[in-house]
Amino acid sequence: MNSQSTATLYRAPRTDVSQNQGKFRTHFNFPGWNHPDHDDHGYGPLATVVESFMDPDTLIRMHQHRNEEIISWVPDGVMRHDDGEGNKLVTDAENMLVMNAGSGFWHEERTLADDPPLRMLQIFVRPPSLELPPKIQHEPIPDHVANEWRHLFGPEGSDAPLFVRNEVDFYDIRLSEGETVDLPSASGRDTYFYVFEGEVTAGDTSFSEAESGLLVDGEPAITAVADSILVAFVIDPDAPVTRQGTIGR
């Protein structure tokens, strides 16, 4: 476990857990590993955050997910989705995809030859119970406003445009060099954040691209050392979870 702590803010460097399938490459970030005394690779309902790369003209053939919520966040480029329900969907900077896999959902992913190289996050959330009804959501998301957090998914009934079936809220931000913002937070919850691009500081701790932080107590501000893109998850660490997902166990 490669992590260090400053008070109640725990930092992890870029993960060394990766898979290389040639034109499709993944790096698995386990938020529970940030905390030196945590005995679970996930952190409550948040199982893993996967940094995924797809070259142009790449096909990930039809496969099934079960008992996990899979969110595709694409800040640039396109990810093309086809599934067993007849949906042909494009996920990009303007549209977001959530597969509430439940009892089973089949899909494939691809990029076309004239698509740009793709770097995205695929987020795996643990549901509270097994064999839930499968659902798919593909929704437009609000335009980003510089230096402001966007709320993109949350539990059912939240004000976010998409939902997951557990107690996790997800935000992103494009933070300009020199700007400072507070991390999203909520009473009784902890915040996990990931630097997708750029470099930021929180207190006396620096976080570069593909590094992450787990805030267990307090509300530190984040300052951009360079223009940066971050995501943040506000998590109920005590929410009931299952651990039988296809990937996000």
Which residues of 135-211 form beta strands (DSSP E)? 135-140, 150-155, 162-164, 168-175, 180-182, 190-197, 199-202, 205-208
Domain boundaries, the chain: 15-235
The parts of the chain modelled with pLDDT lower than 70 are: 1-7
What pLDDT, on a 0 to 100 scale, did the predictor assign at position 220?
A: 82
For residue range 43-78, list pLDDT tens digits in order.
999 999 999 999 999 999 999 999 999 999 999 999
SS3 32: helix
What pLDDT, on a 0 to 100 scale, did the predictor assign at position 246?
A: 94
What pLDDT, on a 0 to 100 scale, did the predictor assign at position 94?
A: 97
What pLDDT, on a 0 to 100 scale, did the predictor assign at position 217?
A: 81
Can you give the pTM of this predicted structure? 0.95
What pLDDT, on a 0 to 100 scale, did the predictor assign at position 218?
A: 76
CATH number of this structure's domain 15-235, picked from the four choices 1.10.1740.10, 1.10.760.10, 2.60.120.10, 1.10.10.10: 2.60.120.10
What pLDDT, on a 0 to 100 scale, did the predictor assign at position 7?
A: 46
What pLDDT, on a 0 to 100 scale, did the predictor assign at position 2?
A: 38
